[in-house]
Structure 1
Amino acid sequence: MISDPDLSNPDSLPDPDPSGGGLFGDAAPSAAPAPYRVLARAYRPVRFGELIGQDAMVRILRRAFELNRVAHGFMLTGVRGTGKTTTARIIARALNCIGPDGRGGPTADPCGVCANCVAILADRHPDVLEMDAASHTGVDDIREIIEVTRYRPIQARMKVFIIDEVHMLSRNAFNALLKTLEEPPAQVTFIFATTELRKVPVTVLSRCQRFDLRRVSQRELAAHFAAIAARERARLSADALAIIARAADGSVRDGLSLLDQAISLSGAAPSGPGGETAAEIDAAMVADMLGLADRGLVFDLFEAVMRGRADLALALSETAHQRGADPGLVLSDLLELLHTVSRLKAVPALREGSELPEAERVRCGALAERLGMAVLGRAWQMLLKGIAEIEQAPNRQDAADMILIRLCHVHDLPTPGELVRRLTQAGSAAPSAAAAPDPGRSAPDPESAAFPAEPAEGVRRLSGGPGAPSAQAALQTALQVAQAASFDPAPSLRSWREVVAHVASRREPTLHGHLRHCVHPVRFAPPVIELRCEPEAPRDLTQRLGAILLEATGTRWTIAISRQPGEPTLAEQSGEVEAKSRTAAEAHPLVQAILLAFPGARIGALRDTRLDEYGLLPETVADERQAVQGDFTPLGAEPPGPGEFTFEPDDLPENDR
């Protein structure tokens, strides 16, 4: 019979069961599983050779370590996820690595097994200090760092301070850091990382070696993600990897986060070596995960829109919506595809490169062959405006459908040059006739993506290019007048306007502004001037003006203040001339036809080569003509005078520039 143990005597207690049971017969607690590390952390580069897409920076740093010319301060800048903090940690390990035998020096290839390398990799080295400037922005935080720099390293060869998001530091914090950063102790290295380089003071930038980490190309990202997926025993199709690389937008970390999410889509979890490989993840699954439309569907939608097939375009849009694709992202995909087609249209040599996948290169090249640049440009403007409209619409899908319907008719709209040519040929015909389709132009074939070429003759003539002899004559006249005036060495002070212009030539901007906007000339009889000043005019205006006139002419002028109303100021006179010119422009039949044919168009700035820098006619002409008449004649007609109005680029609607 087994007697009960004596609880008062610890030595009489039985030994634990070696089979693993608890002291009281219950099961032994199992070890907790190790927490999962996301791919962005598990595959963080630990050597320069593992960094992707930053070949120039790696080459410079390697050479610097070989020549023992390592700087005491580094500024790493670039978009998120390109490896700024990772590079800083690699530099810290390279500076402090002592090799497996403990006798090594600074090297571009740290061993990874010495005490310093292991501690830095584990983020627990006492001499490598990381600080997030987003949460430590004050001058006191920088003072603590400066105080630490006074002491020698505890364990390593160099003290390394890594300050992330350094642009978040306050101005006083930057100023406190300047002296130490310029002349740091020999055992101290500063490494800064930022995504907003423009917010860093130039005084800090000048004390650091700057490295710009560029966005990683989609091809490099796709290859990198394929290698990681293979190590994780996950199968992703090439199209799926391409979608992830495109969505990463040059950021390795963002792409790895998406890859981590995509691997979870497979039916079976990835197993270890020798286990069963998970099911393949295709492009459709990744597109659904990201809320994107299938790439092939985007191509089909783009072709339907360019062919004018509104029924097919709306059906494809509904299909994408049913799959869960966001309407705004669908239009963004169309915008990206439109950009690619436009690039291939503008630079045909890009079709031979390997930047794009083969399927996209072939389809985009075919679209570039059949689409005109005018159609592509107008579609770009309409999509840009449409994406902004979606954000304000109560129903995003309805807004997307309306935008697609407008895009389907983009090739039916006449180009600005085409419209101007029709209006010119028709003379002062009714606007409705000018906007009607050209009878000689056949209706677009719904099965053809070949669109009309861009007739630019009318645009060239509007802008004063070839085919606009009247504009060229006006330009030559203006140049001759300007050249003749430039050779007059003596100031001409025969009128109040010439006096004000002389003040401007003396580089007196404040006085010139007051004379132009606040002074009403009452009488001008050299050397006597009577003025009425507005209340905001400075008290010493007459003294300053008299001194300038005395110096210019050698004669003392009498400048008196009058209570008479006087003439309007030069600014008011210029406003009157501009108002009359705009009224004349708006009343012209050709301008009215253009405004009615293009809803939303407006008249921009009007330029008349006869006007001087104050927007007024020359005074000799102004005395003969009491009113300013606008000169608007049909293109090709003889100009009524030496100058004519010309249109600015914003005269045409935003979608047709």
Structure 2
Amino acid sequence: MEHFIVSARKYRPKNFQDVVGQQAITNTLENAIKNNHLAQALLFTGPRGVGKTSCARILAKKINQQDAENSEEEDFAFNIFELDAASNNSVDDIRSLTDQVRIPPQTGKYKVYIIDEVHMLSQAAFNAFLKTLEEPPAHAIFILATTEKHKIIPTILSRCQIFDFKRIGVLDAKNYLKKISEKEDITAEDDALHIIAQKADGAMRDALSIFDRVVSFSGKNLTREAVTENLNVLDYDTYFGMTDLLLDNKIPDVLNAFNTVLSKGFEGHHFINGLASHFRDLLVAKDKATLDLLEVGDSAKKKYLTQATRASIPFLLQAIQKANDCDLNYRASKNQRLLVELSIMQIASITFDGEKKKSANYIIPATFFQALSPRKKKNTTIIAAEPKEIATPTATVPKTEIQKVVEKPAIKKPILKNVGRLNTQPGKYSLKGFNQQKEVKKTVVEENFEQHPKTTFTEEKLQELWKAYVALLNTKGERSMASIVGTDIPTLGSDFKITFTVPNKLMEDQFKKGRPGLMKFLRENLNNYGISIAVQLNEAVEKKFAYTPQEKYNKLKEKNPLLEKLRQAFELDL
């Protein structure tokens, strides 16, 4: 069995051209060697796995190759000394090092000392090293490497030429993994390599380790699905689907999708962070000038551009703010799942009734979804309610009546132009915008339904659906309109003309505003598009309403005669 060498060792850079993502530093070091401008003490600092130790070894080899013969074949291993400061951090270790520095090299021009993890040296060891570092022999060069520059004392920093290594970009890491895949005869999808590069978080060594792990899992064919399954990361398709549900205001589906994410073993904190990053990427995709900031594969970039057209900038800004607030409060919350659920419900409510003013923490009422949830069949109208009675101003309607399903044949509905929100430039509170809204409402009412069916129906059927509509308004929370519609029982005349009586002018105006919704409900459920509703004003009916305490008491006494006996027994006054 052939000995396996991990990719991080097998493909460790052997010259400056092989170093990924540190072009500025490698060019500086090469020019310093050529021009003999190399400092005698250098400090390489930066995150883990970005090439600090590799660059130090390459530099140590290049320094002596400059003047030697057959330089390409000579590695000058006897001139390079590596010290791990994590395990050799005492004063005695540094004193031993300074004693060795005095001895000149046997071959080559320089002796190079690489001290890795230099921040682990003790305070006494740093002080013992100061003098040697400040005035080293001409043949000695020190290269210090650390991930935590802030732990090194200032007197050491002031004696070094500092090189700050940066995190390796996602695209640079992906391209390097692609080259390795070709060398190893591995077929890898572009998105699969991109996910590995993202998971590495700027560390090339981590990217190579993850690459080896995924290859062991899936063999010679790396797919996006295999990578996400093996690394247990949330695929961006999850966030695309979640964002579609949020834009469609589907709170029940959003909560179910979040529950699915939790059932796969992901934390809510991980999910909300990923969702915020997804919103950020959508915001970046809105403008061509910032499109380069979108560090994703080509296929994913097309999806981002498509979804970015649906999501408005105000929605994305508010969604990012809410997701960020959830992230900040997550650790301190005692019910973390509820915190995330509230946040995504608030995000799903941002675009609901966009023209209305809402509070910052507005959530769509549950009654809205209770009324819509049973509407599953395309040509079937279902009104959902609990099997209990709902009180209306004039009658009590059992909800079992409301649950009836009225089947009707497929009807090609008329196309109503300019209905709904106005996509016009004038403000919604301007006079011009107000007039345009009035014109739109007028066109809706005057729509021609001559080609649509006009099925006959009885007055009893009409009154049954009328009560059902009152109950529906109550479930939606529109109690004012429900009380107006329930003040009288409609009558059916010739040519499907419905007559309805109201007691005062105010109720007449309010009824006319809600009449289009009532007509649509009756037309669809009765399968008759020739219906018209005429409203009559009869101020005499208003006498039915009680205003004074005595009138109110008389009304109650009519409903329950025992009330008078109770008043007399306790000698109560009105």
TM exceeding 0.5: yes
Q: CA RMSD in A?
A: 3.6
Equivalence for 1:291: 232
Residues 53 and 168 (structure 1 numbering): CA distance in 2 closer, same or farther, change over 3 Å?
A: same
Higher deviation after alignment, 326-335 or 69-78: 326-335
Partner of 2:214: 262
- Does 2:321 align with 1:381? yes
The answer to whether the 8 A contact 2:246-2:348 is kept is yes
* Of 121, 139, 156, the match for 1:187: 139
Give runs of aligned pairs for residues 243-258 of structure 1, distance below 5 A. Answer: 243-258=195-210
Return the TM-score normalized by structure 1. Answer: 0.51
Deviations 1:630-653 (A, max 9, x none): xxxxxxxxxxxxxxxxxxxxxxxx
Q: Select the residue among 89, 97, 100 that pairs with 1:148.
A: 100
1:395-544 correspondence to structure 2 within 5 Å: 400-411=340-351
Per the alignment, residue 301 of structure 2 pairs with 361
- Cα 1:451–1:34 shift into 2, 3 Å: farther
Shift of 1:378: 3.4
Partner of residue 40, structure 2: 72
Q: Contact conserved, 2:56 with 2:114, CA < 8 A, in 1?
A: yes
Residue 264 of structure 1: how far off its partner (Å): 0.8
Q: Does the alignment pair 1:281 with 2:222?
A: yes
- 1:39 matched to 2:11? The reply is no
Tell me the SS of whatever aligns to 2:163. Answer: strand
Q: 2:289 aligns with which of 339, 349, 352?
A: 349
8 A Cα contact 2:110 2:141, kept in partner = yes
2:479 matched to which residue of 1? Answer: none
1:291 touches 1:326 (CA, 8 Å); kept in 2?
no
Indicate yes or no: 2:74 matched with 1:114. yes
Q: How far does residue 435 in structure 1 lie from its aligned partner after superposition?
A: 8.4
For the 8 Å contact 2:346–2:362, the answer to whether it is kept is no
Q: CA deviation at 1:161?
A: 1.2
Taking the aligned partners of 2:362 and 2:20, their CA distance within structure 1 comes to 55
After superposition, what is the alpha-carbon deviation per residue over 1:315-360, rounded to whole angstroms, capped at 9, x for unaligned?
4334444555454333222121122223445x64122677443344
- 1:372 touches 1:451 (CA, 8 Å); kept in 2? no
Greater shift, 250-259 or 141-150, is seen at 141-150
CA drift at 1:50: 0.4
Instruction: Report the CA distance shift for 1:319/1:202 in structure 2 as closer, same or farther (over 3 A).
Output: same
Corresponding position: 1:103 with 2:63:
no
State the distance in 2 between where 1:82 and 1:230 align.
Answer: 22
Matched, 1:172 2:112: no
Q: 1:132 to 1:381 in 2, by over 3 A?
A: farther
CA distance in 2, matches of 1:436, 1:93: 65
**Given the superposition, is the C-alpha separation of residues 41 and 395 from structure 1 closer, same or farther in structure 2, using an over 3 Å criterion?**
farther
Q: Residue 190 of structure 2 contacts residue 297 of structure 2 at CA under 8 Å; is this kept in 1?
A: no
Tell me the residue number matched to 1:303.
244
CA distance in 2, matches of 1:290, 1:395: 27
Q: Give 3-state SS (helix, strand or coil) of 1:76's partner.
A: strand
Shift of 1:398: 6.5
- Contact (CA 8 Å) 2:197, 2:207: kept in 1 or not? yes
The 3-state SS of whatever aligns with 2:320 is: helix
Question: Aligned AA for 2:245?
Answer: A
Deviation at 1:208, TM superposition (A): 1.8
State how 1:195-214 maps to structure 2 within 5 Å. 195-214=147-166
Contact 1:292/1:329, CA 8 A, preserved across alignment = no
Residues 407-427 of structure 1: per-residue CA shift (max 9 Å, x gap): 323445999x9679x9xxxxx
Q: Distance in 2 between matches of 1:348 and 1:114?
A: 51
Please tell me the residue identity of whatever aligns with 1:296. D
Of stretches 351-360 and 59-68 in structure 1, the one that deviates more from structure 2 is 351-360
Distance change (3 Å), C-alpha of 1:115 and 1:367: closer
Alpha-carbon shift at residue 155 of structure 1 (Å): 4.6
User: Counterparts of 2:314 and 2:294 in 1: how far apart (Å)?
Assistant: 27
Query: Could you tell me which amino acid in structure 2 is paired with residue 335 of structure 1?
Result: A
The CA deviation at 1:223 is 0.9
Aligned-partner Cα distance in 2 for 1:98–1:353: 41
Seen in structure 2, the aligned counterparts of structure 1 residues 330 and 190 have a Cα distance that, compared at 3 Å, is same
Aligned AA (1:300) = G
* Contact kept? 1:160, 1:189, Cα under 8 Å: yes
CA distance in 2, matches of 1:352, 1:206: 38
Cα gap change, 1:288/1:328 in structure 2, threshold over 3 Å: closer, same or farther?
Answer: farther
* Alignment gaps of 5+ in structure 2: 365-371, 374-420, 424-574
Aligned to 2:62: 94
Q: What's the secondary structure of 2:44's corresponding residue?
A: strand
Structure 1 position 228 matched with structure 2 position 168: no
On the 8 A contact 1:292/1:330 being kept in 2, the answer is no
Greater helix percent: which structure? Answer: 2
Contact 2:284 2:291 in 1 (8 A): no
Percent of residue pairs bearing the same amino acid type: 31
Residue 154 of structure 1 deviates from its aligned partner by 4.3
Asked if 1 retains the 8 angstrom alpha-carbon contact of 2:119 and 2:151, the reply is yes
Equivalents in 2 of 1:188, 1:253: separation in Å? Answer: 29
Residues 1:243 and 1:181: Cα distance change in structure 2 (over 3 Å): same
CA distance in 2, matches of 1:140, 1:183: 20
Deviates more, 1:311-320 or 1:89-98: 311-320
Q: Is the 8 A contact 2:284 2:293 kept in 1?
A: no
- Are 2:31 and 1:60 equivalent residues in the alignment? no
Quote how far apart the aligned CAs of 1:135 are.
2.6
Quote the Cα distance in structure 1 between the aligned partners of 2:164 and 2:293.
25
Shift of 1:393: 6.9
Q: Structure 1 pair 230/388, CA: closer, same or farther in 2 (3 Å)?
A: same
Alpha carbons of 1:231 and 1:435: their partners in 2 closer, same or farther (altered >3 Å)? closer
Partner of 1:565: none
Aligned partner letter, 1:103: E
Amino acid at match of 2:195: I
Q: Tell whether the 8 Å contact from 2:349 to 2:363 is kept in structure 1 after alignment.
A: no
Deviation at 1:145, TM superposition (A): 1.4
